[in-house]
Chains A and B, each alone.
Chain A
Amino acid sequence: MSMQIATSLDEVLAALAAGARPIAGGTDLVVGHRQGKAPLPESLVAIDRVPELAEIADGDPLRIGATVTHARLMTDQVVVDRLTAIADAAALVGSPSTRNVGTLGGNVMNGSPAMDTGAPLVVLGAEAELASADGIRTVGLDDLWTGPGRTSATAGELCTALVIPARPASSGSAYVRLEYRRAMEIAVVGAAASVTLDGDAVASVRVALTAVAPTIIEIDGLEGLTGRAIDDDLLAAVAEAASEQASPISDLRASDRYRRHTIGVMARRAVDAAARRAAGESISVPVNRALGIGAAA
């Protein structure tokens, strides 16, 4: 086995072309290895000391480097102000130490439907930037995630950044998840919302759901809400759409029945918080803790 500690992107891409696998924080890889689920790759290239992968660049589009950690996402002012749902999600991941080593790129390329940062990226219209020795391409997240734990990226490709269009004025976003304790949790269900307001009316609303389908899914058919005020009826419609479009499973964390109900609750709370942020209200990150227990309203 070999490990190369890279300090530039060119080094990383050359190593990948030669068959190495990237390691950033390494939590998933090391835990998987130690629990006997998957052996470590024969050749690793550490990407956590490559400066260009760790940048957050303001602009249009915004660009978040793949090795930016959850700890940085939850406190970086650009992310907190403009991409708040990502900060909400990052602040809920695991514990301070796992947030410290876990990266956005690692999360995205893991392809889990339970990843917390996935739904926020979807509602914010993010695309993944993939680089290889052959060049760079960007790919929509719905094309990237092909199933639980699977992506369309090839072995020589590295996710270098998430690219996100700038938000119009009067926009807000939020991520809310159901949790049974206040830390060290994994999403039972979760929902992200992005809302842009035109006065009191909805100019656009997007909602994506965590852990209720084989991949993160975006709710269809919310265009009909455009022009309406954010009120109980609208929130009920969002909840109903979320519950209907979810295809949850029953497992040790919850029954499908309970997931189908609570995904509606989470979607409603996410839209409510996103709209309040769009209207200028300050709700601190993460929404879960700002608003109370287990995403209680």
Chain B
Amino acid sequence: MTVTELPPFVRADGPDKVSGSGRYTADLTLTGMLHAAFRYPDVAHGRITRIDTSAAEAMPGVLAVMTDADVPDVHYTWAVADRTLFARDIVRFEGEVIAAVAAISPEIAKAAAAAIEVDIEPLPVVNDIEEALAEGAPLVHEDWASHTADDGIIRDGNLAIYSALQRGDADAAMASAATVVSSRYVADASHAAPIEPRAIVAQWEGEKVTIWTSTQVPYDARDGVCETLQLPASQVRIIVPHLGGGFGGKCGFHFEAHIAALARKAKRPVKLVFSRWEEFVAPDRRREGMIVELTTGLDADGRIVARKGWVGIDNGAYMADCAFFPQLAAMHVAGPYNIDHLSIDAKLAYTNHQPSGSVRAPTAPQGCWALESHTDELAAAAGLSPVEFRRRNLVDTGTTGPMGQTFDEIGALRVLEAAHAAAEGSGPLAENEALGLAVGWWPSFAVPAGAYAKMHGDGSVQLITGAQECGTGAVMTLRYLAAEELGIDVEKIQLVYQDTGAAPFGPGATGSQTLLNHGRAVETATRDIAEQLRELAAEQLEAAPGDIVLADGVASVAGTPTASIAIDELAGIAAGGNLLISSGTADVPEYPTLEGSHCVGDQGMAAWLAPQFSCHVAKVRVDRDTGVTRVLDVFAAHDNGTILNPIGAHGQVEGGILMGVGQALTEGTQYGDDGTQLNAGLLEYKLQTIADAPNIHTTFIEIPTANAGPKGSKGLAEAPNVATAAAIANGIAQVVGAHVTQLPMTAERVWDTANGTADQNGASA
């Protein structure tokens, strides 16, 4: 299908976005507004011996300067409370905020931030996962044991979180294997890199603060402000104007409290707009670097009998939302394969890097890249083609996977066959071209969410939801769900969203769950209104409510279409009496159970609700003399359950794949020996351009899925980002004869692999 043949779906926010009238946070200006600037350390690790803000405070035009001394004494964040708003005594990464300034212009604010005198005594930098976990390593948090942690968290010094997956007896089964293959893969950190740098505006009126911010999760941002500034939830309102992309990088709470605190101190509204450099180094959401070591044993038929492995993950300096990463990463390197004997250890390590956090399918693209590279090595060792090896080992309906979850109907084998067939049918390959194949999986996350609905007297409807639109268009689809429940035109439905002052709780744009959870809440709320309409119509038409059908703007009696009344008219009647208002929540479905396996340091990531499957086949061309690789086509097949919004779904797959191409080839954070980022800008951290973009051919295997989202849908936005880098890796390996063991697979790394000189480029690190 070409894109122009898809059914139309025009975003409600589209006209604002194409005309330039849509307002993003940085576009807002309030009367009397000041501009904020942060002061950062020049080192990745050091002890602050002196801070003198007097010169900055004396500068004309500066109205507030703040440090740790000016905010409540609160340690915060998820799972392990290891962090304060402003650095206290020790700085642990280059983007840590030491001080903040509010001034009458951005230029004065920057100059004042630079004028703050900060003396820092450098401390040894923990610059690497294995270095961090080594015996006697310098501790990133000397006082780690004093930090409050959630129950069940296993940690020790630089080992921030430990989890393990165990099933059967991996050692004994490995000893009986006909073939054993071991691999080691190392992925660099990378970035979400939304095109909109984050921005925040805060304004106080009395005891209440309103914060306009570019967050993906308004309620998390609100809770962060409440926790760190010790304010009741009722006094903090978060509003998100149009959001210029997030990809996880804008999940949660970031700098909203800093700006709110500045605004309170300066008694003026304050605005923060990040530079691109700040967007690279300061937020606590970076895609984590990862080390993966796997050993897999096969029987004589090429079936997996045992897998053992180890995953090391770079958490960076503070805990953002990484507590579940080790277990999730372990699931990704175990993979969507049937394995009766499994043992995977996973360790999240503190380093002096920017904190890691949920970037689009956290841990999955790197884990899948390592696993699927290893899987092609297994196929070769077994003398099987990549697709045949996977046929023999992939999970599918009724199998129990690596952790003993019995799968309901899933499309794992069907996506494999569909993508494989599409690629094979695409014509002959030229010299130095190859097709690389990889399979990925990703869970759906069910969490509570709420929605309000009201039908006005004129028959128009307002849906008020805690959902957040980050670009995917999933929020827009909520209108269609409501229109169908109510039997009215979608144009009559208006959305109120991304405002904690108006909407019930929702988990925002995170975890691919906008439709999955907010969708169910909207269905519940609008179903309630529909019931009220049926009762009203039943009175008017002298029929039973159960016989009333709502469709095409009309309530009619089933079987007697002449007995009908316009829904608008019913709304008018209700407006004078029992108002058509309702609320709905999304009940969390029951998660599957695991049989015969054991989770150490469980974070609830081993049993997967409505798992999503994808297979990507990348057609690559490698310039063997330089290692420069180009991805010409990607053939993608996806099982994301029922597809509700085809244009949106294709857009998610295409965008996810191109992000995967970038991760595969050009997107990797480089660290200097001092622990600072060397390529914190868009010239040296290279996103793919339209000139690089492959042609993407997508097939959806639609399986209406029980116990999941509306109409049998699953999540969608993260899954397309999982398998692309792995598919490209397997294509490159076919051309150059060996797997590149570092991600991204830069031209130089590909060239080194082709020449057998990979040991000279630090691949052993």
Query: Which A residues are closer than 8 A to B by beta carbons?
Result: 36, 178-184, 186, 252-255, 257-258, 261-262, 265, 292-297
Contact = CB atoms under 8 A, between A and B. Distances in A.
B623 A293 contact: yes
Interface string B651-688: 00000000000000110001000000011001110101
B684 A295 contact: no
B748 A255 contact: yes
Given A183-B689, A265-B625, A293 B751 contact: no
A262 B684 contact: no
Contact of B684 (A182, A183, A253, A265): A253
B666 A181 contact: yes
A186 B625 CA distance: 19
Given A183-B691, A293-B621, 14 more contacts: A36-B110, A178-B626, A180-B686, A180-B747, A182-B689, A183-B690, A184-B683, A184-B689, A258-B752, A292-B621, A295-B623, A296-B621, A296-B625, A297-B623
Contacts of A292: 621, 623
14 contacts: A180-B665, A182-B689, A182-B692, A183-B689, A255-B761, A261-B751, A262-B626, A265-B625, A292-B621, A292-B623, A293-B629, A294-B626, A296-B625, A297-B625
Contacts of B746: 180
Contacts of A255: 748, 761
B153 interface: no
Interface of B: 110, 621, 623, 625-626, 628-630, 665-666, 670, 678-679, 682-684, 686, 688-692, 746-748, 751-752, 760-761
Nearest to B625: A265
A235 B32 CA distance: 67
A182 B761 CA distance: 24
A254 B623 contact: no
Given A181-B666, A257-B760, A261-B751, A296 B688 contact: no
Contacts of A184: 682-683, 686, 689
Contacts, number: 71
Given A180-B628, A181-B686, A254 B691 contact: no
Contact of B748 (A258, A293, A296, A297): A258
Contacts of B670: 252
B691 A181 contact: yes
Task: Describe B's contact surface by its main secondary structure.
Answer: loop
A181 B665 CA distance: 9
Contacts of A182: 630, 689, 691-692
A109 B625 CA distance: 33
Contact of A293 (B110, B630, B679, B682): B630
Instruction: Kindly name the residue among B628, B679, B682, B690 whose own CB sees the greatest number of chain A CB atoms within 10 A.
Output: B628
A183 B626 contact: no
Nearest to A268: B625
Contacts of A186: 683
Given A181-B691, A182-B691, A258 B751 contact: yes
B550 to A, nearest CB: 52
Nearest first, the 6 A-B pairs at minimum CB distance are A294-B628, A296-B623, A182-B691, A293-B630, A183-B691, A258-B748
B684 A252 contact: yes
Contacts of B683: 184, 186
Nearest to A239: B625
